[in-house]
Amino acid sequence: MSGSNALQFFTCTFYHESDLDLYAYPGHIYELMEWHESAGYDFEPSWHQEEGWCNHILADWDGTATRFPQAPAIGLDLLWYPDIAAIYMIKQFVVMHGETTELKVQVIKMIYNPIKTIMKFHLTCMINIITFSARYSFYPIVTFEE
């Protein structure tokens, strides 16, 4: 996880309009999408994607297969983000404190290491990550003290 949600975690704040950015290797995208769907999220395809996330993602990913032939995502700046294979937007409407709020999650399918792409972000405040086992702020003084 990276982006504004990781920043919120580090600063103990809440940005009402922020989304959740989840970066994952291809073999884990199916289970991420399946879990979010079971939690009530709906896939919202972009202009170049078909309806239904199952049309894009295979459940039987082979972790031993090479990932070199995979093309980067359409519509991204390939100079800065060459390792992103696809971005899947999922959304859910919930009621929080009496108001209807739209929760947005971007599931980002990586070709290679997610950290390599995150380190190319332009803003130091976005270069914070939370993994399954730890949290990291690569520029804590600039991000939180200056």
Residue 52 pLDDT class (50, 70, 90 cuts): confident
Residue 144 pLDDT class (50, 70, 90 cuts): confident
Phi and psi dihedrals of 116, rounded to 5? -60, -45
68 inside domain: no
72 inside domain: no
For residues 111 and 83, the answer to whether their CB atoms sit within 8 Å is yes
> What is the mean predicted confidence (pLDDT) over 66-81?
57
pLDDT digits (tens, 9 = 90+) for 1-24: 888 888 888 888 888 788 899 998
95 inside domain: yes
Which domain covers residue 52, as residue numbers? 4-61+79-145
Most confident option among 54-63, 69-78, 90-99? 90-99
Distance CA 4, CA 10 (A): 10
Name the pTM for this structure: 0.81
Number of domains in the chain: 1
74 inside domain: no
Residue 63 pLDDT class (50, 70, 90 cuts): low
**pLDDT given at position 51:** 87
140 inside domain: yes
> What is the mean predicted confidence (pLDDT) over 13-37?
88
